[in-house]
Amino acid sequence: MDILASHSYPSRRSAVLADNIVATSQPLAAQAGLAMLARGGNAVDAAIATAITLTLVEPSGNGLGSDAFAIIWDGTELHGLNASGRSPAAWTPERFAGQEKMPFRGWESVIVPGAVSAWVALSERFGKLPFADLFAPAIGYATDGFIVTPVIAELWRRAAADLGEYPGFAETFLPDGKSPKAGERFKNAPLARTLELIADTKGRHSTAESWPTRSVFSLRSMALR
């Protein structure tokens, strides 16, 4: 492989050479993945921890109510996972008769989430670390807060304009009635409790009343933006 020191880009770009690399759109999520590798985890552990953390630090595009897909090479065989979620049982053709397309907002746009089941399945099949360990970085950031980055702050502002009227959204994502600005610290205690439940039960908690459902729904809504 030829690695050139010169390039035609206006900004400086260098090749990254390492035994392990975690690449995400948010530095804290990348650090979560690297932390799993430092603990002796593998690429799947790092990917799951990264995905979990993104539901907090990049809520404009990620949420617990999201879907998930994975392609994994185990050194011998290629594996694929489609965790895109199922349609609710009541979503019959008759329910949407007369509509030209699926609704973009509200309950009529929400499928059964598949992301959490993907994390569990991937961890059990390919992971090395205990499932609960993968949640530690995200729970810490949700409890203690994290600094909102400029790009996410702008996407957050746009989402607030579209979704601020939905139940639970403002109280979860708009502290003091407004979206966080770049450089401000944001905490999400309800999400921290939800992540703790998922970590402890692998998403199979039987008491629905104990889940902060407003936060989960708001996360789904914001991810849909």
| pLDDT tens-place string over residues 103-150 | 888 788 888 889 999 999 999 999 999 999 999 999 999 999 999 999
Is residue 4 in some structural domain? Answer: no
What average pLDDT does range 76-95 have in this prediction? Answer: 91
Distance between CA 9 and CA 6 in Å, rounded?
9
Of the two residues 86 and 185, the one the predictor is more confident about is 185
Q: Which pTM value belongs to this model?
A: 0.84
Is residue 34 in some structural domain? Answer: yes
What average pLDDT does range 52-63 have in this prediction? Answer: 94
Is residue 165 in some structural domain? Answer: yes
Task: Give the structural domain span for 214.
Answer: 27-224
Is residue 104 in some structural domain? Answer: yes
pLDDT at 211: 47
Domain count, the chain: 1
Point out which residues pair with 72 in neighbouring strands.
79
Given a cut of 80, whether residue 8 has pLDDT beyond it is no
Q: Which pLDDT tens digit goes with each residue over 186-223?
A: 999 999 999 999 999 998 864 444 444 444 444 444 44
pLDDT at 126: 97
Is residue 168 in some structural domain? Answer: yes
Segment of 26-35, 56-65, 94-103, 208-217 carrying the highest mean pLDDT: 26-35
pLDDT at 202: 93
Is residue 17 in some structural domain? Answer: no
pLDDT at 5: 57
Is residue 99 in some structural domain? Answer: yes
